[in-house]
Chain A
Amino acid sequence: MFAPYAIATWEAATIIAIISGLVGFFVVLRQSTFVAHALPTGAFAGAGAAALVGVSSLIGLGVFSLLSAFLMTALRRRSTKDTATALAMVFLLGLGALFLSQSGAYASSVYGLLFGQLLGVSRSEIPIIAAVAVIIVVVTLAIYRPLLRSSILPELTGAQAISEPVLETVFLILVAAVTAVALPIVGALLVFSLLTAPPAAARALTSRPHLATVLSSVIALGIVWISIALGFTTNLPVGFFVGSFGALVFVASRFIGPTRLRPARLLARHTRLDRTPT
């Protein structure tokens, strides 16, 4: 588990957990779960493109996550946010299916790209991942206040120095950057789980934004470390553990903390369903 070849995995996973906890906090606050799921799924095509062209898959993933973000922004002008997200994702996924069929070598790694791979990054890629992570943290902290304000009270952003469309674009680029870094280990389909479950749990535990941001990274770190350790010992896919633990942590957070659900109240709510307005 801690053999020399596995060190890169632990280093990358730690970085991934910290940045996804940080950016994920805003994903949850801005109700962008679908975006967080669609961006990595679309970026998956990047690995295929990289294999066809013959460059590092990290570059392919980076380019396609950004492409995915810009496509979403462009499509939003022509339809609603929801459908724009869906259309951008299926378009890039379609490209992914094409690259997949055209490069035979790529087919064997499809599973790893979608559901995560323990040895998804190599030692030489750690500096790049670390650099991207530092940029993500710096940018997020630089726009922390305006982003927080616009996420909570979108109506008030007219009075701000940075306009809402600019903030949204920067936010999408941040999610894209996290995607490109996290995808090789966690897998395209489950990056979003890391971006939503820990911050959602953190928000249920505290209502203070700064504490919630830190807590979100801590929970993400816990999930990722346990998933990797279990991945090494059981040989099962990392994505399976990340998805399951994410859901578990989310459910658990609903029952502890200040805003917890009480079973009796829950039961009462569910038996009244038909009569209460939606």
Chain B
Amino acid sequence: MIISTLLHDIVAAGFLTNPAVRTAIVVGALSATVSSVVGLFTVVRGQSFAGHALSDIGAAGGSGAALANISPLLGFVAMNLIGALTLEAFQPKRVRGRDLVTGVVLGAILGIAALLLYLDTTLTTSTGTTVSVLFGSLFTLPSNSLPLAIGIGSVSIFTIAWIYRPLLLSSVSPELAQVQGVRVRWISLVFLLALAAAVSLSALLTGAILSTALLIGPPTIATRRTHSIRSALVLSIAIGIGVTLAGILLSYDSVAWTSQGVGWPVSFCIVALLTLVFFLVPRRTHTVGEHLTKDEPRSAPTPPSSSALVSK
């Protein structure tokens, strides 16, 4: 009895029967899963900036799609794939200067995004494109975007599954991978493409510039708790889905709490919950592949933990 009234208090009326919310939940869970999996490798590879750059680059695609009147998801994916190829093409071989090249590509494409969004607001009557592309519009998602979202999500996940072993090896120790005959450059390109697909999906959920939250948040928390890549994967997905669904619920409920009936945006709810979890969950181990993401030369001796990780 108490539990049911409590549930009624937590889950506001119409939450599970509202079709817009249902679409939001499915897309939310899907993109949280994809982001958590791809994000774990992003964190281990120390590519947070590339991950964020790709999601910002997607904003140009989202605004272009609004201009051409096609599905924003298609725009995000197309632009992100172009972005990933551009980033990989200009990437210098040495680690030093990599961020700089990423930054210059990002700057150029953000400039184009500025132009497209400007045209969106001047040529069409829609004024909300800037906000919906950059900060997300989960509850206004048309339900026919679902098959496309599921397709893109599966492609991303299956790509990671396909290159799982060489990807893991080349993420933890590029030199070792090279010696073992892994084509590191090729793996890195395929990974960037999977990353592009993943950030496109979460751009629907939290908007282009906030999709980094789901990409980096859950994996960072997970790698603070566990050493093994498998449990980090499971934990990361669990945190990602949990935070996303709780965020959607919180955003839906908040409409009733605020005075003017404008709820808190989904992106804010998800990010706030992630931050909360980050500070509440204490650190237990060293981060997976920490020696790679710290500012040390790549030739530093590999600690035993990561070689144990690979040989498992």
Tell me if B110 and A93 are in contact (CB < 8 A).
no
CB closest chain-B residue, reference A243: B111
Cα of A65 to Cα of B81 in the assembled complex, Å: 32
Interface size class of B (residues with CB under 8 A): 35 or more
Q: How far is the CB of B24 from chain A (nearest CB, A)?
A: 16
Cα of A250 to Cα of B135 in the assembled complex, Å: 30
Whether B216 sits at the interface, judged by CB under 8 Å, is yes
* Segment of B4-12, B100-108, B190-198 in the binding face: B100-108
With A33-B100, A197-B104, A278-B185: A90-B118 Cβ-Cβ less than 8 Å: no
Residue among A83, A101, A187 making CB contact with B114, cutoff 8 Å: A187
For A247, the chain B residues whose CB sits under 8 A away are 104-105, 107-108, 111
CB closest chain-A residue, reference B290: A80
Cα of A111 to Cα of B274 in the assembled complex, Å: 27
Cα of A90 to Cα of B210 in the assembled complex, Å: 6
Q: How far is the CB of B197 from chain A (nearest CB, A)?
A: 19
Cα of A37 to Cα of B107 in the assembled complex, Å: 9
Cα of A269 to Cα of B287 in the assembled complex, Å: 34
Tell me if A244 and B108 are in contact (CB < 8 A).
yes
For B118, the chain A residues whose CB sits under 8 A away are 111, 115, 236-237, 240
Cα of A81 to Cα of B295 in the assembled complex, Å: 8
Tell me if A190 and B110 are in contact (CB < 8 A).
yes
Q: Count the A residues whose beta carbon is within 8 Å of the partner chain — how many?
A: 62
Cα of A244 to Cα of B212 in the assembled complex, Å: 24
For B115, the chain A residues whose CB sits under 8 A away are 236-237, 240
With A94-B271, A98-B265, A196-B104: A274-B43 Cβ-Cβ less than 8 Å: no
Tell me if A93 and B210 are in contact (CB < 8 A).
yes
Q: How far is the CB of B88 from chain A (nearest CB, A)?
A: 10
Residue among A34, A36, A94, A101 making CB contact with B262, cutoff 8 Å: A101
With A33-B102, A90-B212, A239-B110: A111-B283 Cβ-Cβ less than 8 Å: no
With A37-B103, A196-B103: A101-B224 Cβ-Cβ less than 8 Å: no
Q: How far is the CB of A140 from chain B (nearest CB, A)?
A: 20
For B184, the chain A residues whose CB sits under 8 A away are 277-278
Tell me if B209 and A41 are in contact (CB < 8 A).
yes
Within 8 A of B (CB), among A224-251: 236-237, 239-244, 246-247, 250-251
With A97-B207, A114-B130: A83-B103 Cβ-Cβ less than 8 Å: no
Residue among B49, B51, B93, B262 making CB contact with A102, cutoff 8 Å: B262
Whether A207 sits at the interface, judged by CB under 8 Å, is no
For A79, the chain B residues whose CB sits under 8 A away are 220, 224, 287
Cα of A239 to Cα of B184 in the assembled complex, Å: 36
Cα of A22 to Cα of B275 in the assembled complex, Å: 34
Tell me if B267 and A83 are in contact (CB < 8 A).
no
Q: Using an 8 Å CB-CB cutoff, how does the interface string of B246-283 with A read, 1 for contact, 0 for none?
A: 00000000000010001111011011101100100001
CB closest chain-A residue, reference B293: A80
With A94-B267, A273-B185: A33-B290 Cβ-Cβ less than 8 Å: no
Tell me if B224 and A239 are in contact (CB < 8 A).
no
For B271, the chain A residues whose CB sits under 8 A away are 90-91, 93-94, 97
Cα of A78 to Cα of B281 in the assembled complex, Å: 11
Whether B134 sits at the interface, judged by CB under 8 Å, is yes
Whether A125 sits at the interface, judged by CB under 8 Å, is no
With A33-B103, A34-B49, A82-B293: A274-B93 Cβ-Cβ less than 8 Å: no
Whether B178 sits at the interface, judged by CB under 8 Å, is yes
Whether A85 sits at the interface, judged by CB under 8 Å, is yes
18 contacts between A and B (CB under 8 A): A37-B49, A37-B103, A79-B224, A90-B217, A94-B270, A97-B135, A100-B265, A107-B131, A114-B114, A189-B114, A190-B114, A192-B107, A237-B114, A240-B112, A246-B107, A247-B105, A247-B111, A250-B104
Q: Please name 7 further chain A to chain B contacts, defined as beta carbons within 8 Å, in addition to the given A37-B103, A38-B52, A85-B49, sorted by A numbering.
A: A33-B102, A80-B293, A90-B271, A101-B264, A243-B107, A276-B93, A277-B175
> Which positions in B face A, CB cutoff 8 Å?
43, 46, 48-49, 51-52, 56, 93, 96-97, 99-100, 102-115, 117-118, 121, 130-131, 134-135, 174-175, 178, 183-186, 188, 207, 209-210, 212-213, 216-217, 220, 224, 258, 262-265, 267-268, 270-272, 274-275, 278, 283, 287, 290, 293-295
